[in-house]
Amino acid sequence: MAGGGISKVFAQMSPARGMLDAMDCLFCKIVAGTIPAKKLFEDEHAIAILDINPQAPVHVLAIPKKHVASLAKTDANDERMLGHLLNVVRELAVEQKLGNGYRVVINTGANGGQTVDHLHLHVLGGRAMHWPPG
């Protein structure tokens, strides 16, 4: 990440939002470039990477650069970031040729299946999705 690396990520956080957790956060390390990942998108607010354990022919993660532990930890101040992530997902769906449809999932908390404590959106496509999901 050009222009500041992980220090830029920390500058966007307050202690109440989990600065200590961010130091050990897998996605913060990917944002900082200390852990490699196959990036499909990057701007000043978000990145998108291929999931290392894909659950569909297309499985991309859209991740805010700002460390937020989960959707449950967002508030009204995060509205712009959340909207931006949905726009990133829409752009990824076009680039990945998911015109027949796709699913967007935000796992939140242990019972919701969240395994990395950094907000991220799963974009799944390339096959028919079924309901209920699991």
Q: In what order do the strands lie in the sheet with 121-125?
A: 39-42, 46-50, 58-64, 121-125, 102-105
Q: What is the dihedral of CA 20, 63, 30, 39, to 10 degrees?
A: -170
Q: Provide the annotated active-site residues.
A: 120
Question: How many degrees, rounded to 5, is the angle at CA 85 between CA 84 and CA 89?
Answer: 115
